[in-house]
Amino acid sequence: MKKSILQILGILTVSATLVTSCTSDTNGSDSPSSTFVVTPNDFKGTITEGEVVLVAGTTYKLSGKIQVNSGATLTIPAGTIIEGTGGTASYIAVAQGGKLNVNGTANKPVVMTSGLATKKAGDWGGLVICGKAPINRVSGGASTAQSEVADLAYGGTVANDNSGSIRYLRIEYAGAAFNSEKEFNGASLFGVGSGTTFEYVETYQGADDGFEFFGGTVNTSNLISFGNEDDQYDWTEGWSGTNTNWYGKIAFGKGNRGIEADNFELGFANTPIANPTITNLTLVGPGSTASSLIYTENQGLKLRRGTKGIFSNVVLSSWATGVDIEHDESLNAIGTGLKITGINFIDVTTKTKGKKTAVAPATSGVSADASLVLASEISTATGAGNGVNAPSWSTGWSVGL
Predicted pLDDT of residue 390: 98
Q: Is residue 7 part of a domain?
A: no
* 26, pLDDT greater than 90: no
* 297, pLDDT greater than 80: yes
Task: Quote the strand ranges of 285-362, DSSP E.
Answer: 299-303, 309-325, 338-353
Check if the beta carbon of residue 136 is closer than 8 Å to that of residue 85. Answer: no
Predicted pLDDT of residue 293: 66
Residue 17 neighbours by CB under 8 Å, 6+ apart: none
Predicted pLDDT of residue 375: 53
The 10s digit of each residue's pLDDT in 300-346 is 999 999 999 999 999 999 999 999 998 989 988 988 899 999 999 99
* 358, pLDDT greater than 50: no
Residue 236 neighbours by CB under 8 Å, 6+ apart: 212, 213, 214, 215, 261, 262, 263, 264, 265, 274, 305
Burial class (CB in 10 A: 0-12, 13-18, 19+), 8: exposed
What values do phi and psi take at 331, rounded to 5? -60, -35
Cis bond before residue 40 (omega within 30° of 0): no
Q: Is residue 343 part of a domain?
A: no
Tell me the C-alpha distance between 99 and 76, whole Å: 11
- Single-letter code of the amino acid located at 304: R
Tell me the C-alpha distance between 376 and 89, whole Å: 47
* 214, pLDDT greater than 80: yes
Q: Which of 294, 327, 315, 304 is nearest to 382 (CA)?
A: 315
Q: Is residue 64 part of a domain?
A: yes
Task: Quote the strand ranges of 78-152, DSSP E.
Answer: 81-84, 91-94, 99-103, 110-114, 127-130, 145-146
The mean per-residue pLDDT over the stretch 78-95 comes to 96
* β-strands 81-84, 50-53 pairing: unpaired
Predicted pLDDT of residue 361: 38
CB atoms within 10 A of CB 15: 16
CB atoms within 10 A of CB 370: 10
Q: Which residue has the higher pLDDT, 331 or 92?
A: 92
Q: Which residue has the higher pLDDT, 156 or 8?
A: 156
* β-strands 110-114, 164-172 pairing: parallel
What values do phi and psi take at 191, rounded to 5? 60, 35
Tell me the CA distances in angstroms from 39 to 14, 44, 62, 94, 172, one per residue in order: 10, 8, 10, 19, 22
Predicted pLDDT of residue 198: 99
Tell me the C-alpha distance between 297 and 284, whole Å: 14
Q: Is residue 300 part of a domain?
A: yes
Check if the beta carbon of residue 244 is closer than 8 Å to that of residue 212. Answer: no
* 216, pLDDT greater than 60: yes
The 10s digit of each residue's pLDDT in 63-79 is 999 999 999 999 999 99
DSSP state of 192: -
Using only C-alpha atoms, the chain has a radius of gyration, in whole angstroms, of 21
Q: Is residue 29 part of a domain?
A: no
What values do phi and psi take at 337, rounded to 5? -80, -15
Distance of CA 294 to the CA centre of its chain: 24
Tell me the C-alpha distance between 274 and 258, whole Å: 17
Q: Over the chain, what is the mean pLDDT?
A: 88
**What CA dihedral angle connects 279, 264, 66 and 174, to 10 degrees?**
-60
Tell me the C-alpha distance between 293 and 113, whole Å: 29
Tell me the CATH number at 153: 2.160.20.10
Predicted pLDDT of residue 369: 35
Q: Is residue 348 part of a domain?
A: no
* 352, pLDDT greater than 80: yes
Percent pLDDT > 70 in the chain is 86
Q: Is residue 3 part of a domain?
A: no
Percent pLDDT > 90 in the chain is 76
What domain range is 171 assigned to? 41-338+382-394
The mean per-residue pLDDT over the stretch 152-172 comes to 98
Q: Is residue 22 part of a domain?
A: no
* 155, pLDDT greater than 50: yes
The 10s digit of each residue's pLDDT in 175-184 is 988 877 778 9
Domain count of the chain? 1
| CA-based end-to-end distance of the chain | 37
Tell me the C-alpha distance between 264 and 302, whole Å: 14
Q: What is the pTM of this model?
A: 0.89
Tell me the C-alpha distance between 276 and 125, whole Å: 26
The 10s digit of each residue's pLDDT in 99-148 is 999 999 999 999 999 999 999 999 999 999 999 999 999 999 999 999 98
* 377, pLDDT greater than 90: no
Tell me the C-alpha distance between 397 and 200, whole Å: 9
